[in-house]
């Protein structure tokens, strides 16, 4: 099959879905690879690097779409990009089908077999294709780097000839994939790191990374775990306890990284304006939940704002794109694994096996039919 990688058209999107390395692997599976000219430029992969790896560089998106059997990209397609595709072609990208109903309908009508990388089931067998986790890991890392860049002090404590410097205190709220990456990064930079999650089972993971789990003094039974390792909304009593603990911590923490999300809902508001007001000037809040409304009251989407008392609040939503070389490599690897599963004979022939839980789960449109939402996976 001919696998073509389109240049991203969304503003501020620097990633690419095919790298010279991932293409070499796809060629070994019997595929041919094509890339739109300039597609890898913002992530450090020149047209020349693609050519050296045996990839055909195609001048524009229209020619590339016409010449490819499979189109790979990062962001969901624009309606005009989707309009260029024809029945029987396969598209693999992030798609977010529940937020893009019109686009999904368009994919169905055009007969484009559509694989949403954000719909890959989060089961062990599919971890190699779990692009959401790959990107969340980078976002968590980059959130700490971005915080450091806006924080005028060291993370680690130092004893210098001029005097003693205390370590920074970092609080991470939400210890899923991004939160754990943020905890790992902050501790490795030498900060004292505290972390909170409503799922008590993450306490051990947090502590094993050298951070301190923030326990609440809560008499009632609260276990914020829901199915699949996700969180459920908190009871009002629990939420009050949580907020009062955060109020207590606000004057002493220098950096807060918030990552708290509940599937299918707006992000819970957890770092409120009065907590920001209680923080020291020069402190930083990085809100990784900005795209879903933000965990912090004062977050502005895709902006950096400074509060009246000098606290920087960062609401960027493009952290993976800010590390485009790394995120493209990992995302291209996730795509390559998906294509490997779609090429069981390693003979360049695509077999879209809808009996396979992972392929079925990720396929949102197939053969002119809507295949979203998928049935629950059989294997956990
Ligand atoms: P997520 O992005 O949905 O949520 C981030 C974190 O916010 C979660 O840990 C959640 O518990 C927490 N949270 C929600 N409300 C909160 C509140 N009020 N206060 C504090 N924290 C709150 O989560 P995610 O990163 O997508 O990961 C979800 C789960 O899926 C994790 O358990 C993860 O280990 C699991 N997972 C499993 C696989 C697999 O292949 N088996 C792959 C990826 C993730």
Tens digit of pLDDT for each residue in 113-152?
999 999 999 999 999 999 999 999 999 999 999 999 999 9
Q: What is the ipTM of this complex?
A: 0.96
Between strands 304-306 and 284-287, the pairing is unpaired
Task: Identify the sign of the CA torsion 368, 369, 370, 374.
Answer: negative
Of ligand 1's listed atoms, the one at least distance from the Cα of 268 is 18
Of ligand 1's listed atoms, the one at least distance from the Cα of 260 is 7
Does pLDDT of 229 surpass 90?
Answer: no
Q: 130 an active-site residue?
A: yes
Of ligand 1's listed atoms, the one at least distance from the Cα of 196 is 20
Cis check: omega of the bond before 247, within 30 degrees of 0: no
CA atoms lying within 13 Å on the CB side of residue 358: 20
CA of 267 to the centre of ligand 1 (A): 12
The CA–CA distances, whole Å, from 332 to 20, 66, 112, 321 equal: 9, 22, 21, 13
Per-residue pLDDT averaged across 185-193, rounded?
98
CA atoms lying within 13 Å on the CB side of residue 58: 20
Q: 118 an active-site residue?
A: no
Give the pLDDT confidence score for residue 377 in this predicted structure: 66
Give the pLDDT confidence score for residue 281 in this predicted structure: 98
Does pLDDT of 220 surpass 80?
Answer: no
Q: Is the CB of 365 under 6 A from ligand 1?
A: no
Does pLDDT of 70 surpass 70?
Answer: yes
User: Taking a C-beta distance cutoff of 8 angstroms, is the pair 365, 107 a contact?
Assistant: yes
| Candidate of 260, 271, 291 to mutate for ligand 1, largest count of ligand atoms within 8 Å of Cβ | 260
CA of 183 to the centre of ligand 1 (A): 14
Give the pLDDT confidence score for residue 212 in this predicted structure: 98
Query: Which of 230, 297, 322, 341 is the catalytic position?
Result: 230
């Amino acid at each position: 099959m001919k696998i073509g990688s389109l240049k991203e058209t969304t503003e501020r999107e620097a990633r690419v879905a095919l790298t010279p390395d991932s293409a070499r692997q796809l060629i070994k599976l019997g595929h041919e690879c094509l890339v739109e000219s300039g597609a890898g430029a913002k992530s450090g992969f020149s047209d020349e690097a693609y050519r050296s790896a045996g990839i055909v560089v195609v001048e524009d998106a229209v020619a590339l779409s016409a010449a490819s059997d499979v189109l790979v990209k990062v962001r969901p397609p624009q309606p005009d990009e989707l309009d260029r595709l024809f029945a029987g072609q396969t598209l693999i990208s992030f798609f977010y089908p529940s937020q893009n109903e019109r686009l999904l309908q368009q994919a169905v009508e055009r007969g484009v077999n559509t694989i949403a990388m954000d719909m890959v089931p989060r089961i062990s067998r599919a971890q190699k294709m779990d692009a959401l986790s790959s990107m969340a890991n980078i976002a968590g890392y980059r959130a700490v780097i971005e915080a450091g860049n806006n924080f005028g002090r060291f993370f680690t404590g130092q004893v210098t000839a001029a005097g003693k410097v205390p370590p920074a205190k970092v609080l991470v709220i939400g210890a899923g994939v991004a939160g754990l990456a943020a905890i790992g990064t902050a501790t490795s930079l030498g900060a004292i790191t505290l972390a909170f999650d409503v799922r008590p089972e993450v306490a051990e993971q947090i502590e094993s990374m050298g951070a301190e789990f923030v326990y609440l003094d809560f008499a009632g039974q609260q276990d914020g775990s829901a199915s699949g390792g996700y969180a459920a909304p908190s009871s009002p009593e629990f939420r009050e306890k949580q907020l009062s603990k955060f109020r207590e911590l606000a004057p002493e923490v220098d950096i807060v990284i918030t990552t708290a999300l509940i599937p299918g809902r707006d992000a819970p508001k957890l770092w409120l304006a009065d907590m920001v007001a209680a923080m020291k000037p020069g402190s930083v809040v990085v809100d990784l939940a900005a795209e879903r409304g933000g965990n912090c009251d004062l977050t502005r989407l895709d902006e950096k704002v400074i509060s009246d008392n000098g606290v920087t609040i960062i609401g960027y939503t493009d952290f993976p794109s800010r590390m485009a070389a790394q995120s493209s490599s990992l995302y291209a690897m996730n795509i390559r694994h998906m294509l490997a599963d779609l090429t069981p004979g390693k003979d360049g022939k695509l077999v879209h096996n809808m009996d396979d839980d992972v392929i079925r789960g990720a396929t949102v449109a197939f053969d002119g039919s809507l295949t979203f939402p998928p049935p629950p996976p059989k294997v956990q």
